[in-house]
Every structure is written in structure tokens, then in C-alpha cells.
Amino acid sequence: MTRTALVTGSAGFIGYFTARALIDAGWQVVGLDAMTDYYEVGLKERRRAMLRQTPGYTDIEGRIETPGLLRDLFEQHRFDAVIHLAAQAGVRYSIEAPRSYVEANLMGTFELLEAARAVPPAHMLLASTSSAYGANTDMPYREDMRADHQMSFYAATKKATENMAHSYAHLYDLPITMFRFFTVYGPWGRPDMAHFKFTRAILRGEPIDIYNHGDMRRDFTYIDDLTGAILALIDTVPGDAPVPGDSLSPVAPHRIVNIGNGAPVPLMDFIAAIETACERAAIKTYHDMQPGDVPATWADATLLETLTGNRPSTPIQEGIDAFVGWYRDYYQV
């Protein structure tokens, strides 16, 4: 029997690839996206157009925080799985426009949880962020670490959604998995992301801004590795039997899972990979650390591997080559 999934944020970078992977795996997919103008809407329109041309995909435009919208969709489709990726993203933008994070991340997630309480799916999978680990300096980050000191308002709202989801999982026996994503990159990525901004500037012969004077490391995760992990976790429903190193709640069917390579890359090595793919050197401008940012991220992916048998593994040069190839083709440069 064909199963049906809801993907919120389906015209977004991660949402598009997740919806496509689900369809390829035989799912019916309902995609919901607000098509906001936080970044180039043309990219979202192209992603949505490709999904609309795919059998098995139903497109809905709307804001997740709209009262009753998600409840109506849950009642109409009776979802087997819900993958919640819609959010207001961006660490620095959360300083400029914090209200949008309250509306999309907090109120939107509240509407989702209320819809699930009324019409429970078999499993809900909600996106969080590695930024939830905040000021922690003990690495690699494990899901059982305390995460109480977020460094940006964006991270604070995502950590709040983890807590909101836990309360609903406990009160209404809703199985929920929270993903903590680690710096996802790849073709069709967001223009505000580092790999996109660096590639654009290098190909134009413009300087790139390097913060903390280059002394930064990120656990970069290629988009195909991420979507593979999401699909593998759909049928790994949090229950009563924890696995070794589990983050399963003692009082609710609620689990947190890191999705990251487990191999942090120095920022200057990341830039070198882009220079290699672009076949030209970057003009580098160095700056102090930006407010709300952290110097390093590093995922412990042991739990993901225990649950699914796999972990992200795409080498950084391979992933960057794929992105730069897409960028050149899309923008004809």
C-alpha cells in the first residue's frame, strides 16, 4: 500500500531533495511551502516546478503558522509520516528580523503539533540544528549533551521546538524524531550559505568575507547524505527499547539524532576546495567573528549509524565539485 508523507518547506533546499527522494522511494508526497522572499524566490520556483512535474506530488502554498491550515491537511490526507523542514533559517538574519522566527519556527511548529494531536501520523520527523549545541566546547557533539546556551535567536527558537515536540510526544504519545543538521550543502543550496556565496564571489572575481580570521571549522554534510539519513529514519520510530548511546526520552517517544559527517573541515580547506572546483583563487578579506556565530561544529554520528547502519560520507571535494558544476550550469557562468 502506498504511503503518504507531508513535507513542509518543500520548495526549500532540503525540502526539495527530501520530497524528491521520497517520491523516488514510492511515497505519495504532499508539499507545503510559503514561497517567502528571504532569498531568491526564483530558486524556490524552479524547485517547486520540478516537483510539480513529478507524478505522486501534490503542491500546497501556504504558511505553516496559519491557524487551521495544517489541521485541514492532516484530516484530508491522514499522513503516514510528517517531515517538518519549514522554518525561518539563518543565524544572522535572526538578529535583524527576530519576529519572523517566532512566527515561522515557534507558531508554525505549534500548529503542526496541534494538527498531529488531532490526527496522529505514525511518525513525525522535525528539523532542528547543530546550532542548538550553542556554547558547548566539548566535541564531538553528542545528542545526550546538555544544550542550554544557544548563541543566536535562530538557535534558541529551534531548541524551543525540540522542547515543544517533547511535551507533545509525552502528553499525546506522538512518536517524534528531531534532527540536528550540520551545515548542509550541495546543488540548489540557499544563496545565503557559505558555499554559495564563496562560489559566486570567486567566479565573479570579487572578494570573499572570512570571519574569525579563518579560524573556524564546520562539519559539512552533503545534501544526498542528509536525505538518505532522513528516509532511513522514517521507519525507525522512537519506542520503548533504547539502543546503545540513545537519546530516547525516558518519558516520551521522542529522540534527537545528529545528521553530520563526524569530520569537521577547517574553513580554509573548505575555501580551497571551492577554489579548486572554480579553477581560480579567492580574494580573501578577513574579519572578526560575527555575533551569534560559533567557531566550530562537530557531530558525533554514532547514534545515526547505530539506528540506520549508515552515516554521511561524501568527501568535501566531491560535494563541492557537484555544487560548482550545478552553479555554473544554472547561472551559465
For residue 315, what are the contacts with CB-CB under 8 A and spacing of at least 6? none
Phi, psi of 224 (to 5 degrees): -65, -35
Instruction: Single out the residue of 5, 34, 33, 35 nearest to residue 20, CA to CA.
Output: 5
C-alpha span between 155 and 164 (Å, rounded): 14
CA atoms within 13 A on the CB side of 171: 11
Q: Which of 154, 168, 222, 327 is catalytic?
A: 154
Confirm if 4 and 33 have CB atoms less than 8 A apart: no
Is residue 154 part of the annotated active site? The answer reads yes
C-alpha span between 272 and 198 (Å, rounded): 11
Taking residue 265's Cβ as centre, other Cβ atoms within 10 Å add up to 18
C-alpha span between 325 and 333 (Å, rounded): 10
Taking residue 272's Cβ as centre, other Cβ atoms within 10 Å add up to 17
Taking residue 76's Cβ as centre, other Cβ atoms within 10 Å add up to 10
Is residue 74 classed exposed, middle or buried when 0-12, 13-18 and 19+ CB atoms within 10 A define those classes? buried
Beta-sheet pairing, 4-8 with 28-33: parallel
Catalytic center residues? 154
